[in-house]
Amino acid sequence: MKDEEIIICRCEDITLKEIKDAIHKGYKDIESLRKYLQLSAGPCQGKTCIPLTEKILAQELKKRIDEIAMPTTRPPETPVPFGIFSKAKK
Amino acid sequence: MKNRNVVIIGGGITGLAAAYYLVKSGIKNISILEKSYLGSGSTGRCGSGIRQQFTTKEHIVLMKESVKLWKEWNNDLPIPIHFEQGGYLWLLSNKKELAQYKEYVTYQNTFGVESIIISAKEAKEIVPDLNTDKVIGASWCHTDGNAYPFDVTNALQTFLKREKVEINTFEEVNKIHVKNDKIQEVVTNKNRYATNTVINGAGYGAKYIGQLAGLNLPLQPYRHQIAASEPMNNFLGPMIVKGGLYFLQTHRGRIVGGTDLKEPPLSNLNSTLNFLEEYSKQIISVLPIISSVNIMKQWAGYYIVTPDRHPILGPTKINGFVLGCGYSGHGFMLGPVVGKLLASLIVHKNMYIAEANNLTLERFKTGKLIKERAVIG
Ligand SMILES: Cc1cc2nc3c(=O)[nH]c(=O)nc-3n(C[C@H](O)[C@H](O)[C@H](O)COP(=O)(O)OP(=O)(O)OC[C@H]3O[C@@H](n4cnc5c(N)ncnc54)[C@H](O)[C@@H]3O)c2cc1C
Ligand code: FES
């Protein structure tokens, strides 16, 4: 399969090719890639695509996976409606 | 050892904008030093609002110019930054507030800012989904707006790389050599830079960078939290402000906003549940239909606040040490004008807008402080 046919972030529809291109444009860490491509901004909040992207980064930069820094996890863990939080505060 | 005409510390909007205008003025041989990734400081964490509805001459004049420059950036930068003039709608809930904002608007108008006071009914015409039950009027400026922070940093970085500006990320400044009150050298964890001109655009690191040059800058960090919703079709239009609450819809469709928890100065960027509860309660009271919309993520960043809540810009007693910091929550919108002012200072030895000279570090010594009465979120 060609790189442009492999979807890495299925929530935001981002392909392997887009990720590799971005890395070679100079977005060489997970946070910069996330922000540049809007990677991991979908409903699963990156649970699927971030681990994959780490592997791709490691491969492309010829680094070990533990040298690729993990992004901060941002709450909430799963999407929650505004209404739920406002009920807690009455 | 590298030789540089200008070394810029900080890869946020201040540093990138200053580099942009230095390049435009023909300055070559510039390095930007950023200890993490570009936009990792407050720039990438901000609410992205751009407004001219302020209450002091300094903020109003600078922001009017900045909006003009945002428009130029929108046309000139190599990738779209999504600067949109959707306006700022400032909801007022009592007579005292209304009277106060009438005064502000009159003041803003004398500088040519097109703000007006409108009724609650007119506010509802602008944003039909608003709950205006407890609103008695609004301050409205249709030329205010927003831009997308990461598109802005990406666009500026693309321009700067084409112009051969050296941008070194993950490189941290830890020493500055000063001799006879003159900048000599900047040292990082990776390299040394001989230079006579340094811009301190280091955001929450600006106080430390000041110390490295022997200056005590009156800056304090305050944590501010913010959240983004899932994306929706565009329905909102302007930035909405009410008391400490603010929110807007980005061009990607997410509602991004926050509220002021009135916390004391704080050096941590933890996210709290208390924030989500407070923000949700307030936003639902203004925009009830958002109740079933999902919050996708929450984060925090710093406002770097000065005693008079105005930025510190321009020269210091150290020759060649130039400041762009302490925006007290308004540094994103001020980015273009600050960049141009600092470049003008370095190239022509003066900041080209008279009011900017009221914002130098000197004012804390002479006691000529400036008071801002409308700080939000
Ligand atoms: C929640 C929130 C909402 C906001 N909303 C708005 C808004 O709607 N409109 C608005 O105009 N403003 C807003 N702001 C304020 C705005 O984000 C900041 O004023 C602005 O981004 C400051 O930009 P800067 O480039 O000066 O600093 P930063 O973006 O913080 O950049 C400074 C950079 O310097 C780097 N650095 C620090 N120390 C060193 C060192 N020793 N060596 C090398 N690099 C170093 C940092 O890593 C950082 O990237 C908001 C802020 C927050 C937190
Ligand atoms: S797969 Fe990337 S956010 Fe869900």
B293 plus B325 within the same structural domain: no
**Measured CA distances, B28 to B63, B193, B347 (Å):** 28, 15, 12
B224 plus B283 within the same structural domain: yes
Instruction: Report the nearest atom of ligand 2 relative to the CA of A48.
Output: 1
Q: Does position B118 have pLDDT exceeding 70, yes or no?
A: yes
Question: What is the mean predicted confidence (pLDDT) over B183-206?
Answer: 98
Q: Does position B375 have pLDDT exceeding 60, yes or no?
A: no
Nearest ligand to the CA of B186 is 1
In a domain, B282, yes or no: yes
In the sheet where B115-118 sits, what is the strand order?
A80-81, B294-305, B220-229, B255-258, B245-249, B239-242, B88-92, B137-141, B115-118
Expressed in angstroms and rounded, the spacing between residue A39 Cα and the centre of ligand 1 is 22
| B90 C-beta closer than 6 A to ligand 1 | no
In a domain, B69, yes or no: no
Which residue minimizes the CA distance to atom 1 of ligand 2?
Answer: A9
Question: What is the mean predicted confidence (pLDDT) over A22-37?
Answer: 90
Q: Does position B17 have pLDDT exceeding 60, yes or no?
A: yes
In a domain, B77, yes or no: no
Residue type, B231: P
B139 plus B213 within the same structural domain: no
Question: What is the mean predicted confidence (pLDDT) over A61-83?
Answer: 81
Test the A interface: residue of B36, B162, B269, B294 with most A CBs within 10 Å: B294
In a domain, B103, yes or no: yes
Count structural domains, chain B. 2
B248 plus B341 within the same structural domain: no
> Which domain CATH number covers B276?
3.30.9.10
Instruction: Report the nearest atom of ligand 2 relative to the CA of A14.
Output: 2
**Where is the domain boundary, B256, B281, B305?**
B305
Average pLDDT of chain A to the nearest whole number? 87
Residues B162-180 as b/e (b if ≥16 CB within 10 A, e otherwise) read: eeebbbbbebebeebebee
| DSSP conformational letter for B55 | S
Q: Is B277 an interface residue toward A (CB < 8 Å)?
A: yes
The SS3 assignment for B46 reads coil
B265 plus B125 within the same structural domain: yes
In a domain, B73, yes or no: no
Mutation choice for ligand 1 from B46, B83, B223, B341, CB with most ligand atoms inside 8 A: B46
Residues B46-62 as b/e (b if ≥16 CB within 10 A, e otherwise) read: bbbbbbbbbbbebbbbb
Instruction: Report the nearest atom of ligand 1 relative to the CA of B171.
Output: 43
What does the alpha-carbon distance between residue B209 and residue B215 come to, in Å, rounded to a whole number?
A: 9
Question: What is the mean predicted confidence (pLDDT) over B293-303?
Answer: 94
Nearest ligand to the CA of A12 is 2
In a domain, B54, yes or no: no
Given a contact cutoff of 8 angstroms between Cβ atoms, the answer to whether B375 and B329 are in contact is yes
In chain A, which residue's Cα lies nearest the Cα of B276?
A: A85
What does the alpha-carbon distance between residue A8 and residue A53 come to, in Å, rounded to a whole number?
A: 8
Question: Could you tell me the pLDDT band of residue B374, with boundaries at 50, 70 and 90?
Answer: low
Mutation choice for ligand 2 from A14, A30, A44, A52, CB with most ligand atoms inside 8 A: A44
- DSSP H stretches of helix in B111-174: 120-126, 149-162
pLDDT digits (tens, 9 = 90+) for B46-75: 999 999 999 999 999 999 999 999 999 999
Question: Between chains, do B292 and A45 touch, taking CB under 8 Å as contact?
Answer: no
B161 plus B107 within the same structural domain: no
β partners of residue B325: B312
B298 plus B225 within the same structural domain: yes
Q: Does position B121 have pLDDT exceeding 90, yes or no?
A: yes
Residues B312-342 as b/e (b if ≥16 CB within 10 A, e otherwise) read: bbbbbebebbbbbbbbbbbbbbbbbbbbbbb
Question: Between chains, do A86 and B281 touch, taking CB under 8 Å as contact?
Answer: yes
Least confident of A76-85, B95-104, B249-258, B317-326: A76-85
Given a contact cutoff of 8 angstroms between Cβ atoms, the answer to whether A57 and A30 are in contact is yes
B168 plus B270 within the same structural domain: no
What does the alpha-carbon distance between residue B154 and residue B126 come to, in Å, rounded to a whole number?
A: 32
Q: Which of B238, B290, B324, B240 is nearest to B41 (CA)?
A: B324
What does the alpha-carbon distance between residue A49 and residue B257 come to, in Å, rounded to a whole number?
A: 26
In a domain, B132, yes or no: yes
B244 plus B352 within the same structural domain: no
pLDDT digits (tens, 9 = 90+) for B207-235: 999 999 999 999 999 999 999 999 999 99
Question: Could you tell me the pLDDT band of residue A74, with boundaries at 50, 70 and 90?
Answer: confident
β partners of residue B175: B187
What does the alpha-carbon distance between residue B340 and residue B165 come to, in Å, rounded to a whole number?
A: 17
Percent of the residues in chain B that have a pLDDT greater than 70, as a whole number = 98
Expressed in angstroms and rounded, the spacing between residue A8 Cα and the centre of ligand 2 is 8
Q: Which of A73, A74, A45, A71 is nearest to A57 (CA)?
A: A71
Given the cut 0.85, state whether the ipTM is greater than it.
Answer: no
CATH 1.10.10.1100 at A3-73, yes or no? yes
Question: Between chains, do A82 and B290 touch, taking CB under 8 Å as contact?
Answer: yes
Identify the domain containing residue B121 by its residue range: 84-144+220-305
Q: What backbone torsions phi and psi does residue A15 show, to the nearest 5 degrees?
A: -95, 165
| B46 C-beta closer than 6 A to ligand 1 | yes
What does the alpha-carbon distance between residue B129 and residue B365 come to, in Å, rounded to a whole number?
A: 49
pLDDT digits (tens, 9 = 90+) for B138-181: 999 999 999 999 999 999 999 999 999 999 999 999 999 999 99
| B376 C-beta closer than 6 A to ligand 1 | no
pLDDT of residue B141: 98
B156 plus B109 within the same structural domain: no
**Measured CA distances, B306 to B109, B222, B327, B371 (Å):** 27, 11, 8, 11
Q: What backbone torsions phi and psi does residue B147 show, to the nearest 5 degrees?
A: -140, 160
Q: Which of B18, B2, B12, B333 is nearest to B199 (CA)?
A: B18
> Which domain CATH number covers B187?
3.50.50.60
Contacts of B361 (CB under 8 A, 6+ apart): B215, B217, B312, B314, B315, B316, B323
What does the alpha-carbon distance between residue B79 and residue B56 come to, in Å, rounded to a whole number?
A: 33
| CB nearest A86 (choices: B36, B280, B297) | B280
pLDDT of residue B367: 87
The SS3 assignment for B198 reads strand
pLDDT of residue A15: 95
B182 plus B201 within the same structural domain: yes
Expressed in angstroms and rounded, the spacing between residue B84 Cα and the centre of ligand 2 is 28
Expressed in angstroms and rounded, the spacing between residue B118 Cα and the centre of ligand 1 is 33
| pTM exceeds 0.80 for this model | yes
Given a contact cutoff of 8 angstroms between Cβ atoms, the answer to whether B322 and B312 are in contact is no
B239 plus B277 within the same structural domain: yes
The SS3 assignment for B260 reads coil
pLDDT of residue A75: 76
Percent of the residues in chain B that have a pLDDT greater than 90, as a whole number = 96
Test the B interface: residue of A82, A89, A90 with most B CBs within 10 Å: A82
pLDDT of residue A88: 61
Question: What is the mean predicted confidence (pLDDT) over B279-304?
Answer: 95
Residues A44-78 as b/e (b if ≥16 CB within 10 A, e otherwise) read: ebbebbbebbbebbeeeeeeeeeebeebeebbbee
Neighbours of B375 (CB within 10 A): 15
Q: Which of B153, B154, B165 is nearest to B23 (CA)?
A: B165
Average pLDDT of chain B to the nearest whole number? 96
In a domain, B340, yes or no: yes
Residues B232-257 as b/e (b if ≥16 CB within 10 A, e otherwise) read: eeeebbbbbbbbbbbbbbbbeebbbb
Q: Does position B377 have pLDDT exceeding 50, yes or no?
A: no
